[in-house]
Structure 1
Amino acid sequence: MSEEKRPPGRAHGHRDAARAQQLRRQSSRERAALREDARREERTRSRFTGRMAVLVLVLAVLAVSYASSLRAYLEQRNDIEAHEQQIAEAQVAIDDLKREQARWEDPAFVAQYAREHLGYVTPGETPWVVLEDGEPLSGTELPDPDSVAGPEEPAWFDDLWESTKIAGNPPEAPRPPAATIQDESGESE
């Protein structure tokens, strides 16, 4: 009767508790064994996983894209520096031309240029023209000094060499003078 008074499912309570405890022990042993297997497998397995491969691939693609962008940036920077140099040179040329323009706006400079290059004179001045072989000099250019200068005298070492050649090979004795002197007409005096 006492068995009848027990609630259902509690009839074998002590046996169920022992069984549950046994299952817990077995499951903790199994868990420890599984952990040990996992550790062994992790040691033997390579550390290079699929995720790692994807990460390396993504990093490589990023490095290549940034490298090409960096190369383009450096080329553009060099182009900019070259253009800035050209701008600076053009600015110098512009400044020179502005100075030249300011000179041409000065009446004294224009008068001086007209005198020197165009042969203009102011009223009351007497112009002089230099002649070469009866002809006025063309423009303001002088002829080549080598063509105007007289014959060049030989250098000292040329004279030395000539005297050395004569000393080694003296000339023949001169002929005695003629007894009579003839003039240009062929008559003797």
Structure 2
Amino acid sequence: MRKGQAAAPAKPQHTLFGLSTRRAVILGGVIFVLALTLAVPMHTYLTQRAEADRLASEQRDLERELDELQRQKEQIEDPAWIEAQARERLGLVRPGETPYKVQLPGDYKPPEEDAPPPPPSTGAWHSDLWQRLAGPPPSTEPERGTLPENPAVPAPAPEEPGVPTG
């Protein structure tokens, strides 16, 4: 360098958060690797925690159901409960008692009629559906008190050879 010349200005360094660019990239890479290293165990921990909570809830439900079933078992083993159920459901009475059944006017329920059996299947689903929608086929027997539309005409007696008709 010569005496009258100023020193050449130094190249400006690029910085990121007070670090050189190279150091900032290395630091970012290290943070990324640490994040990946911690992500898998964290995911496993959270999954196992949710499964443990679900199993604890299921166990509480099963314990409640077990308590209810034990209560029902004790109730069924009670002779007084059995007698009450026999009186209520079956209408049984003890020897010497007179049974009464009170029927109030609004309590009558007509007996339920059994549904007719479904028609036999023809094999094709659309035919079966059409039969169900159309209803039962019309009856071939005439209703009581009506005459049949085409009364049966008796067939003529066969003619005997040599006998004149007429």
Name the larger-Rg structure.
Answer: 1
Q: Normalised by the size of structure 2, how large is the TM-score?
A: 0.47
